[in-house]
Amino acid sequence: MGGGWERRLGPAVQAAPGARVDRFEVFFDLVYVFSFFIIARATAADLSARGLLHAVLLLAVLWWCWVVHSLVANRIRLGEGFVPLVMALAIVALFAFALASPRAFRDPAVGLPGPLVIACSYLVIRLVHYLVYRYAIRKHPQELRKIRPYAVELSCSTALLFVAALAPPQLGDPGAAAHLRDGIWILLVLFQYATPLLTGARGWVVTSAEHLAERYDLILMIALGESLISVGVGSDVVGRPITWRLLLAAAMGIVGIYGLWWLHFDLIAPASRLALHGTHGRARIRLVRDAYADLYLVMLVGIVIFALGGEEMLHQVGSPHVGLSEPVHGPGMALLYAGTICFLVGDLLFQLRTLGTVSWTRVGAVVTLGVLVPLAVHLPILLAVAVVATVTVLLVAVEAVVFAGPRRALHAALLEERVAQERHETAWRRPRTRPDEASAG
């Protein structure tokens, strides 16, 4: 890697401490979110306990790939030099991973075996990131030694995936094979997320706190957008008349998603970004590991579960054969509530880890929704959806009043930060601007 490519296309460019997310990274994230969408689609077709377990396992493995990807992007500009060409291999492999996700735990009689495609795709994705990162730090022996645990993690994770793909069919008993494969996947996820805990995230480097916080916020934002698509898919409006009850249910579902967006991005996300800027050294690495790498996964799982519940709810509301006085058939409503609870719990833990505070209003909302779940599954469809949307809206409204002072102070600090950054950038550019351009401005 490198050599001729570097001479023709440019070298691997190191990220600067104040780096921001580039366009190539956003493009790459869209492929990840496509994978989330495919996993949600496959789970919607199999709304069972095992189907949900498989979805969570796939999301966890995929998220671990993304965490590694984000660390590489925080050190190397993925959109510059020869790196985008190499990363194209990872994009193709990630797309293959997404397409194989619905068959990740099955051995079909025809076509390529999904578990094997998953294992091969995973190997390519991780290997590309590892080799690019290793090439970028090749002149730093100390850093090369620090990433050895992740070479071991990559080897063991890939080996487990290949064992999960090849060993179960040899048993001859489909039931035993399914349990074995599930067990290997659970072991894989535990091993991946235990590695940075056991090693203290040794080898992790956060060059730009701004880039890392922005990157995680963007992937969560795109995931929320994907949930809108999933909920819309559930309406199944093509070829069907638009009814007032369908529009009302869709509006309440969107209000729920909007509430989740507000609860994280209005206060918690910007305050946590400032907290990340205020930490340094090993403390910053541990904060990234605990809050961003781990707890964002909890919020992501909550978004996917919410989307599954919203899709199922809208599908039944749009059916002319389902009366509005009937409850949602199946687990759809429970998933809608569980997804909201999961997101709020993840956000609460994220807030506790980054800011050292707890919003008791959110604790109250989680408890309220948990108490209401047994009742909601028996309520008429629209009433049950209205309840969860109302709890979310009330939480937003109460926090807007209770935290009005801290909110104003935070947003004033953010405005001051943006003004200072703009002044610094303007001062830096002024000597490099031609006199005629400066006068024209």
Interval 278-308: pLDDT, tens: 998 899 999 999 999 999 999 999 999 998 8
CA distances for 75 relative to 8, 84, 205, angstroms: 22, 14, 7
pLDDT of residue 294: 94
What does the DSSP assignment read for 282-338? HHHHHHIIIIIIIIHHHHHHHHHHHHHHHHHHHHHHT-TTS-TTSPPSSSHHHHHHH
Token duo for residue 379 = 């309520």
The 3-state DSSP class for residue 111 equals: coil
Q: What is the CA angle 276-279-281, rounded to 5?
A: 120
Distance CA 296, CA 216 (A): 8
CA distances for 23 relative to 62, 73, 80, 336, 397, angstroms: 21, 12, 10, 33, 35
Distance CA 73, CA 87 (A): 11
Distance CA 48, CA 328 (A): 15
Bridge partners of residue 14, in order along the sequence? 76
pLDDT of residue 436: 55
Distance CA 137, CA 173 (A): 48
pLDDT of residue 8: 64
The 3-state DSSP class for residue 66 equals: helix
pLDDT of residue 441: 46
CA distances for 402 relative to 259, 264, 274, 399, angstroms: 17, 16, 21, 5
Task: For residue 138, give the DSSP letter.
Answer: T
pLDDT of residue 94: 94
- Amino acid (one-letter) located at 164: A
Q: Which of 220, 229, 374 is nearest to 308 (CA)?
A: 229
The 3-state DSSP class for residue 258 equals: helix
Q: In 10 A of CB 118, how many CB atoms?
A: 26
Distance CA 354, CA 291 (A): 7
Query: What radius of gyration, in Å, describes the C-alpha atoms of the chain?
Result: 23
CB 90 within 8 A of CB 24: no
Spatial CB neighbours of 354, under 8 Å, sequence gap ≥ 6 = 268, 271, 272, 275, 276, 287, 291
Token duo for residue 198 = 């056991």
CB 102 within 8 A of CB 44: no
What ranges in 21-147 are assigned the alpha helix state H?
Answer: 23-44, 49-75, 83-100, 114-136, 141-146
State the number of CA atoms in the 13 A half-sphere of 227 facing the CB: 31
Distance CA 129, CA 102 (A): 25
Distance CA 392, CA 369 (A): 10
Bridge partners of residue 76, in order along the sequence? 14
CB 32 within 8 A of CB 94: yes
pLDDT < 70: residue spans in the chain: 1-11, 232-240, 320, 322-324, 432-441
The 10s digit of each residue's pLDDT in 30-48 is 888 888 888 888 888 888 8
Q: In 10 A of CB 282, how many CB atoms?
A: 12
Token duo for residue 289 = 């590991």
Q: Which of 441, 156, 413, 88 is nearest to 273 (CA)?
A: 413
